[in-house]
Homo-oligomer: A and B are copies of this chain.
Amino acid sequence: MMLEETGKRARSAVPAVSALDTAVRNAVLLTAASYLERDAEKLLAANGEDRKRAEEKGMKPALLDRLTLNSERIAGMAEGLRTVAALEDPVGSVSSMNRRPNGLLIGRMRVPIGVIGVIYEARPNVTSDVFGLCFKTGNVTILKGGSDALSSNRVCTQILREALRDCGVCEDALQLIEDTSRETAVAFMHLDKYVDLLIPRGGAGLIRTVVRESSIPVIETGTGNCHVYVDETADIEMAVNIIFNAKTQRIGVCNAEESLVVHRDIRSALLPALEEKLREKQVELRADEAAAEYLASSVPATEEDWGTEYLDYILSIKTVDSLEEAIRHINTYNTGHSEAIVTQNYEHAQKFLREVDAAAVYVNASTRFTDGFEFGFGAEIGISTQKLHARGPMGLEALTTYKYIIYGDGQIRG
């Protein structure tokens, strides 16, 4: 019943929020940024409660780190809101306006989606990040964060709602679902009467559950089993640098490389040099037999390795006899995120770009560039690994839809 009420309030806020001027939306974001800084102590205290509970139940250090706020991170949250305020507003722009033979003038106007739900794990900074992007584009937001971050999320939401109120905007533009039970999570996924889009932000398990369960349209984000394929014509130094960067520059991210696909004829030139470089970061190599021959030290790869997103200093290595086999292997095991070829062969580059099925396909560059800022879109709400609506880094435009507007002077259909 509480949830139904949340949905109703969100839906009622839609007309007012979607009609706000850009200037008002930006003012809210800037006000929210300064309130986060002003109330940093309150936020830190709430986060302290969350961390205390998490430590008592023995949360792993990596997760505890994600849960933790400090002054620097709060400054980062405020800065994030200011960055979004400075981005160009896509809402209201009209594209492809054309006059039809009967005189009708038809164009596509960018408009907010309406109500966006976001389900995420225990990372309190996501609360303000997601609000910033959704509100900038005129949407109403319902958040459901991880239970371990409840105190932080509650205080953060209060601060953001205060900014809304003080700028004269309906506070229900942002609501937090405070009941963190599984039943409520499932009920949220069926709130299609009020929610237009649901975005899960988190690990593969969370995403799978939401896709299976939700009757609201979902955008899948995040999981990346990314490959670099080294063609037989590759420049060895370039290949080593790209793989080292894609694998080790940041291991816990979705656009990191998890698997190397290597052409049989370039194994002897590539693998010893690569192994030496990867030793700097103690990367474990899980190789098939044909690759292991050229490595001083490796673990045999199993079928399971081809499908695993390690998010760790581990790299699987698969040997292929041709570009076709490489593409087939990648299209079988990838998650539709980011894939790269290193090659000096023009035709191979073009074929790889055309035939690999992923959100971002690279020639001679690291997969680590798949990111809203690197692509020039600014802040992103996630990286879509599905094919409908938005694919790849989802900037502001992905949080809008369009409608056709038609100017007539009395036209009727014959």
Contacts and interface: CB of A to CB of B under 8 A. Distances in A.
Interface of A: 14-15, 18-19, 92, 98, 100, 104, 106, 109, 111, 113-114, 192, 196-197, 211-212, 215, 217-219, 235, 238, 241-242, 244-246, 249, 327-328, 331, 349, 353-355, 357-366, 368-370, 374-376, 386-389, 391-392, 401-413
A368 B242 CA distance: 55
State the majority secondary structure of interface residues on A.
mixed
Contact of A412 (B211, B245, B370, B407): B245
Contact of A389 (B18, B361, B388): B388
Given A197-B388, A365-B104, A386-B217, A249 B412 contact: yes
B408 A355 contact: no
B242 A412 contact: yes
Contacts of A401: 387-388, 391
23 contacts: A15-B327, A92-B354, A100-B376, A104-B374, A111-B357, A197-B387, A211-B215, A212-B215, A217-B217, A217-B388, A241-B410, A242-B410, A245-B413, A360-B403, A361-B406, A365-B407, A366-B411, A366-B413, A368-B412, A368-B413, A387-B401, A388-B388, A392-B404
Of listed A100, A249, A357, A387, residue having the most chain B CB within 10 A: A387
A358 to B, nearest CB: 6
B361 A404 contact: yes
B375 A409 contact: no
A211 B192 contact: yes
Given A100-B374, A244-B412, 15 more contacts: A14-B357, A104-B365, A106-B376, A109-B353, A114-B357, A196-B387, A217-B218, A238-B410, A242-B410, A249-B413, A362-B406, A365-B406, A369-B413, A388-B401, A392-B403
Of listed A19, A366, A370, residue having the most chain B CB within 10 A: A366
A392 to B, nearest CB: 5
A241 B409 CA distance: 12
B408 A365 contact: yes
B241 A361 contact: no
A147 B197 CA distance: 33
